Amino acid sequence: IADVKGGPDEGMDRLGEVLVVRGWVRTCRVQSTVTFIEINDGSCLSNMQCVMSSDAEGYDQVESGFFTTGTSVLIEGTVVSSQGSKQKVELKVARLILIGKSDPSAYPIQKKRATREFLRTIAHLRPRTNTFGAVTRVRNALAYATHKFFQENGFVWISSPIITASDCEGAGEQFCVTTLISNAGESDCPLNSIPTTKEGNVDWSQDFFGKPAFLTVSGQLNAETYASALSDVYTFGPTFRAENSNTSRHLAEFWMIEPELAFADLNDDMACATAYLQYVVKYILENCKEDMDFFNMWIEKGIINRLKDVVEKDFIQLTYSDAVELLLKSKKKFEFPVKWGFDLQSEHERYITEIAFGGRPVIIRDYPKEIKAFYMRQNDDGKTVAAMDLLVPRVGELIGGSQREERLDYLESRLDELKLNKDSYWWYLDLRRFGSVPHAGFGLGFERLVQFATGVENIRDAIPFPRSPG
């Protein structure tokens, strides 16, 4: 359907062509002389209107009432210009085949709009709605544009491991992966019987990996090793966090894009984040017009203008210290305290981008080292690190990044300060021992980007199958 209706003249260039369309019936209106069937195949938002008179092959099944919403069909017909005002062309049906019936009394997707909460309970059928079809196509376009951007700029894509022994962010939000090996050599779920040693500790010798293993929270440390050999690289894959926060911005399983730039500092990192975001937003504005118009109309009024501003205007930059001052001066009452040294909460982040800077993306840099991860490069003031967060309206933190500590002595003393086990980071320290280079990178939560780009309010609607507590 997209191939025909998405053409230069909305299908008028295809008049007279005989086509076969396969898809799912959205509506079927049987009238005395003609029957109108709207069919959708997911290739685009629009349906193909198919007009059928009683002489068409298969008409008897329409009369029998089998062509209800949700039915899968094959329709063959000729492209003709449409009398209706909604579309330029329609199909004059010659032949119609029912592929799979759909019992109208049981099919849960009805014509009237269902709530997002309800649709989350039928994640297997919600892609058949306009909203989820559009979100899925735009998510796909953003993924394509992501690879396009990095490939055009000479980055090499790295698959970082999902199962790992290290906690990149040091926040203890990892899911543990344990699988016991039974005597027969078969693996077993350990829920009922975790083997322990005489001292009462977990006996890891009976575990598949022989030591605790986790689902990764970030591919960054792995990306750093490849950036220390291939220069600019990026990852794009699933990451996992056992944050028990039931918010509209957190998932337990989400996708992250993590570029790592070699021979680069924080300014290069911020420039890359800006260029990347402008590129992918421009891409969907140019290539997903129909879906973006739908979001603008039904999901978030004005989203297109907001996104155009992202592409056309510079991002705001300020330091963490300036951001704290700005919050302290504001008249707004915040739930969480604002104080130098405290992390910014989402209410603060949203105030900064939505109110203080009128909806523009804002990059905050140079955070206190105490609230940031061990690997971030210490600034000369001894109190802050070369970190940056990129904030956008509605979503808050979209990107978190930093210049990495490339100096062996600084990194070792930071690990000591945080009482982290240096032995388990031996390979990470090796990168600083052998040909260390200044490098920097960031992580972008892909579902937060989808949220930002489509206007969907809840992150659970920005991923096909959301995973969250409970």
Q: Which residues bind ligand 4AD (CB under 6 A)?
A: 168-169, 218, 220, 241, 243, 250-251, 254, 256, 258, 397-402, 441-445, 447-448
CB of 232 to ligand 4AD, least distance (A): 13
Which of the listed partners (ligand 4AD, Mg ion, none) does 138 bind, with a CB threshold of 5 to 8 Å by partner kind?
none
Transcribe 225-237 into DSSP letters: HHHHHHSSEEEEE
Residue 126 DSSP one-character state: G
What minimum distance in Å lies between the beta carbon of 386 and ligand 4AD?
12
Shorter beta-carbon distance to ligand 4AD: residue 131 or 160: 160
Task: Pick what 398 binds: ligand 4AD, Mg ion, none; C-beta below 5 to 8 Å, kind-dependent.
Answer: ligand 4AD
Mark 385-424 with x for binding to Mg ion (rule: CB under 5 A) and - for no binding.
---------------x------------------------
Cβ pair 24, 72 in contact under 8 A: yes
CB of 243 to ligand 4AD, least distance (A): 5
Nearer to Mg ion by Cβ, of 219 and 400: the residue is 400
* Number of residue whose CB is nearest Mg ion: 400
Q: Residue ranges of the alpha helices (H) in 42-129?
A: 59-63, 116-120
Q: Which does 58 bind (CB under 5 to 8 A by kind): ligand 4AD, Mg ion, none?
A: none
Q: Residue 310 in 3-state DSSP? A: helix
Q: How many residues bind Mg ion (CB under 5 A)?
A: 1
Choose from Mg ion, ligand 4AD, none: what does 258 bind? Cβ within 5-8 Å by kind: ligand 4AD
Alpha-carbon gap, residue 399 to 443, rounded angstroms: 6
Give which of ligand 4AD, Mg ion, none residue 243 binds (C-beta under 5 to 8 Å, depending on kind): ligand 4AD
Query: How far is residue 48's CA from residue 29's CA, in Å, rounded to a whole number?
Result: 14
CA dist., res. 258 & res. 401, Å (int): 9
Residue closer to ligand 4AD by CB (options 46, 384) is 384
| Number of H-type helices and E-type strands within the chain | 13, 18
Q: Among candidates 44, 39, 33, 56, which has minimal Cα distance to 2?
A: 44
DSSP letter (8 states) at residue 84: S
The C-alpha angle 103, 36, 48, rounded to 5 degrees, equals 90
Report how far apart, in Å, the C-alpha atoms of 323 and of each of 153, 176, 343, 351, 381 are. Answer: 32, 37, 11, 10, 18
Choose from ligand 4AD, Mg ion, none: what does 273 bind? Cβ within 5-8 Å by kind.
none
Q: Which does 349 bind (CB under 5 to 8 A by kind): Mg ion, ligand 4AD, none?
A: none
- Comparing CB distances to ligand 4AD, the nearer of 119 and 373 is 373
Q: How far is the CB of 443 from Mg ion (least distance, A)?
A: 8
Binder of residue 218, out of ligand 4AD, Mg ion, none (CB less than 5 to 8 A by kind): ligand 4AD
CB of 263 to ligand 4AD, least distance (A): 17
With 0-12 CB in 10 A as exposed, 13-18 as middle and 19+ as buried, what is 465? exposed
Instruction: Tell me how far, at minimum, the Cβ of 320 lies from Mg ion, in Å.
Output: 13
In 295-407, which residue ranges form alpha helices assigned H by DSSP? 303-312, 320-329, 346-350
Q: Which two tokens stand for residue 137?
A: 């196509």
Residue 351 or 442: which CB sits closer to ligand 4AD? 442
Are the beta carbons of 459 and 249 closer than 8 angstroms? yes
Q: List residues near Mg ion by CB under 5 A.
A: 400
